[in-house]
Amino acid sequence: MRYLIRTTPWHAERYGLALALQQRLPGAILVEDRRTEEQRRLEPGGFQNYVEALALARDGGAWLIEDDAKLVTRFCERAAWEVQRHPHALLQGYSRANIDRTRGERWRSGRSFVNNVCVYVPGELAEELHSWALAWEKPADHTDKRCDPMVRRFLEAHRLRYWNVVPNLADHRTGYSVRLGRVYASTPSTTFVA
């Protein structure tokens, strides 16, 4: 199982979280946002970092994990089990939808996709998604390129569903947002159990 941790070495707190995740996950690779401060000002967010992670995931698939993800205790075992159950699907390991508590794990329409905190992208899908991301232009109503709408539009265009893992494999910590450039309020999972 491959783990790609998307991180920002220029932000000490988030980079520290990434290093802790790397120690916990066997063979985890840090995908570091190496843009300059000026580049980050012109294009905020982690879109380019996501594209780099997709390029690495093309060879056999991988879990793409944001550095501010908080993982369940037996993450590696549960993540492997989910991939074994749905080896060719995009798997979402973090969701904050209230309906998760009553509906549980399920297939969801690509048009509902949001939150790239912890997702599995199989290799063949990573290849297509990477090509899509390279050509993708941000929507007119957005100020920057964002990963969530890009993935959502890819899934919609290809009429793909994704598997929503419940209980969630990850939660989202309160902390510094790369896209917003400030601390953001917590966006907790509704089904995360440490």
Query: Tens digits of per-residue pLDDT, 66-89?
Result: 999 999 999 999 999 999 999 999
Sequence-separated (6 or more) residues with CB below 8 Å from residue 37: 10
Sequence-separated (6 or more) residues with CB below 8 Å from residue 147: 45, 46, 47, 50, 116
How far is C-alpha 168 from the geometric centre of its chain's CA atoms?
13
> What integer best gives the mean pLDDT of the chain?
88
C-beta separation of 183 from 174 below 8 A? yes
In the chain, domain spans: 3-181
Question: Which residue has tokens 């843009």?
Answer: 35
Query: CATH assignment of 3-181, given 3.90.550.10, 1.10.730.10, 3.40.30.10, 3.40.50.150?
Result: 3.90.550.10
Model confidence pTM above 0.85: yes
Query: Tens digits of per-residue pLDDT, 80-125?
Result: 999 999 999 999 999 988 888 889 999 999 999 988 999 999 999 9
* Residues above pLDDT 90, as percent of the chain: 62
- Is pLDDT above 80 for 185? no
- Is pLDDT above 60 for 182? no
C-beta separation of 193 from 167 below 8 A? yes
> What's the pLDDT score for residue 4?
98
b/e sequence 116-155, b meaning 16+ C-beta within 10 Å:
bbbbbbbeebbbebbebbeebeeeeeeeebbbebbbbbbb
